[in-house]
Chain A
Amino acid sequence: MAGGKNPWGSGGSSSGDGGDKDEPEASKPKGPKNPWLPPGSGGDRRGPNIEDIFKSRGPEGPRRTGGPGGPGFRMPQRPGGKSWFPVAVAGIVGLGLLATSVHLIGPQQEAVVKTLGNYTRPMTPGLNFSLPFPIETVDVEDVQGVRIVRVPGSNQQVKLILTGDQNLVDLSFIVRWNISDLEDFKFRLVDPVETVNDVAEAAMRAAVAETELDETFSGQGRAAIEQEVRERMQRTLDGYQAGVRVLGVEIEKADPPSDVVEAFRDVQVAEQQADAARNKARGEAQQVLAQAQGEAEAFDKVYEQYRLAPEVTRQRLYYETMERVLSKTPKTVVETNNVTPYLPLPEIRRRAQEAPQANTVTTQEGQ
């Protein structure tokens, strides 16, 4: 350590704050000032200083064996004066070979091994070894993972499918599938994924073409179509030996085409209106019946009493009613034989104007 020249070392004589400003001049020939050091920390710094770091890192420094990175890096030399370069290349190549010959196959995965292009063996999950890259190639696939085909795809336009009764349905669906036989999947079809797409679409159109429009909207009809499409797809793909297992088909949407959707909605509205009319009628019917039952029941009760004493009950009812009626209305008793009946016509007219709809009843029992 060059203690004496160190501006931050113990030898700093300058007091406190001013120290920084004076020192850099002295330190310049040695190297740059450490910019990360707080300005006031002059005297009591303990860590290695920046000069030391550069010294030990540089090509002439004591720590020669360090890796690349310092300024003025040169390829280190092996003992004996030979270059490390071939060794490094060999090492990298060796590592590469090792990397291509050790394979960790995940639990969902399987792999096929080709020896010089010729399929030789499968690899199952776990740690596997193969000959290094140019000789054996290993192709790993996720076989268990469920893959999804969406028809129509995101970039496709709306698909209208013709139904058996020559109508059109706007239908979208997904197919879930995975690989059942990796060997077939790899070596039988040029583009297995594209094939699954094509087969899905063909199967769906064939299935819908055998279904009537209304069935495609009903839950049961849809389930039947889904089942049918799944079976069709599996049959076709098995025919291609595609090594694909169709796990399921789900219809996401089966709607009337947008051009005629109004008419379809109107049918639903009509259904609801019809239901509403029926419900209203049922309500009214209940009301009519209840009223009838109530009135009949009331009559029956009274009649029961009436039968016990017909004349008296009749009289009683008559007087009670008359009381109720006559007690609340103005009455005039007229002796018809002597007096000309007076009809208060102006008053009646006035009242008629007050309540135009109501009718004024005048009972005239005359002779």
Chain B
Amino acid sequence: MQQIWEDHKATVAALGLAVVAFMLSAFVVPEEEQVVIVRTGEPVGTINTPSGNLKAGLHFRWPFIDKVVRIEKRLLDLEMSDEEVLSNDQQRLLVNAYARFRITDPVTMVERAGSTDGVRNALQPILNSVLRQELGRRTFQSMLTAERGDALANVRANLDRQARQYGAEVVDVKITRTDLPEAPLQSAFRRMESDREREARTIRAQGARDARIIRAEADAEAARIYAESFGKDAGFYDFYRAMQSYDATFAPGNGNAESNIILSPDNEYLRQFRGRR
């Protein structure tokens, strides 16, 4: 080692310098990032931007005077949680929403916002107010229906217009949650309960009604059957039925008390009793 240093002092020094220079000036831009090179406060170049020519990979800068500002290239999200929004029919709704945006113009972004967090901070209140405005213009009912799609398209367009000023593009705005605040929630529960009570009562009444109808139909049908059959000879039916009736009423057992029958000799049954003709 000693020997090499003695022999090639200049070469080794130059080599070392070259390595140091390389370390200072080379930098890697990953695929996920876009880079703005800032020279003494002025953006002088971009790498791996959607519109630029330079792709990700190994790049060089002037040491010390060029600053590399790395910016996320992928889709970013902006969350808004539990905002109470008032619909135009004075109903309150807790809304969670998100916006997805990406930085499309990193130079503008660096100049106006400094960093992606800067963009977030700038867009957050805008998202809140735009969403409130847009939903506040609608009825509670329509917030729940397909019209919400239109509202969100408007929100997106509005937010996008603002975001362009920061070099960002808003891809999408979506509502993740719409909840009722506590008090309306309770009243919604009460309403659901009373709905169901009404339903249960109706169902029971319908059941009772159907049962009555079924019985009545059967009774009517039975009456028809009896009439059809017995009506063929009303006189005979009277006799026949009387016989059955005597059987039923006088026969012991069946819970009947024992009968005592006192017969007069004039009785039809005893007609022959006296042997008269």
Contact = CB atoms under 8 A, between A and B. Distances in A.
Given A209-B145, A266-B197, A332-B261, A166 B222 contact: no
A281 B215 contact: yes
Interface in A309-326: 310, 314, 317-318, 321-322, 324-326
Nearest to B259: A329
A274 B240 contact: no
Contact of B260 (A199, A277, A362): A362
Given A274-B207, A333-B263, A362-B262, A267 B29 contact: no
B226 A292 contact: yes
B135 to A, nearest CB: 13
Given A292-B221, A300-B229, A166 B188 contact: yes
Contact of B174 (A163, A187, A199): A199
A285 B100 contact: no
A286 B215 CA distance: 9
Q: Which of A167, A288, A366 has the most CB of B within 10 A?
A: A288
B56 interface: yes
A320 B25 CA distance: 130
Contact of B196 (A116, A163, A267, A336): A267
Interface in B136-152: 140-141, 144-146, 148-149
B243 A317 contact: yes
Interface string A56-90: 00000000000000000000000000000000000
Contacts, number: 296
A54 interface: no
Interface string A195-209: 100110110011001
Contacts of B189: 168, 257, 259-260
Nearest to A200: B176
B107 to A, nearest CB: 21
Given A166-B140, A325-B251, 6 more contacts: A189-B75, A263-B196, A270-B201, A318-B269, A331-B262, A365-B263
Interface in A8-43: none
B212 interface: yes
A164 to B, nearest CB: 6
Given A160-B179, A187-B31, A324 B247 contact: yes
For the side of the interface on A, what is the size category? 35 or more
B221 A289 contact: yes
Nearest to A282: B214
8 contacts: A116-B58, A167-B192, A186-B32, A274-B206, A296-B225, A318-B269, A322-B269, A365-B264
B66 interface: no
Contact of A281 (B149, B201, B211, B252): B211
Interface stretch (B12-20, B122-130, B161-169, B231-239): B231-239
A153 B201 CA distance: 38
B180 A281 contact: no
Contacts of A273: 203-204, 207
9 nearest CB pairs, A to B: A274-B207, A285-B218, A358-B257, A292-B222, A281-B211, A118-B57, A296-B229, A117-B30, A263-B196
A95 interface: no
B5 interface: no
B261 A331 contact: yes
A155 interface: no
A311 to B, nearest CB: 11
Nearest to A333: B263
A328 B261 contact: no
B56 A117 contact: yes
B262 A363 contact: yes
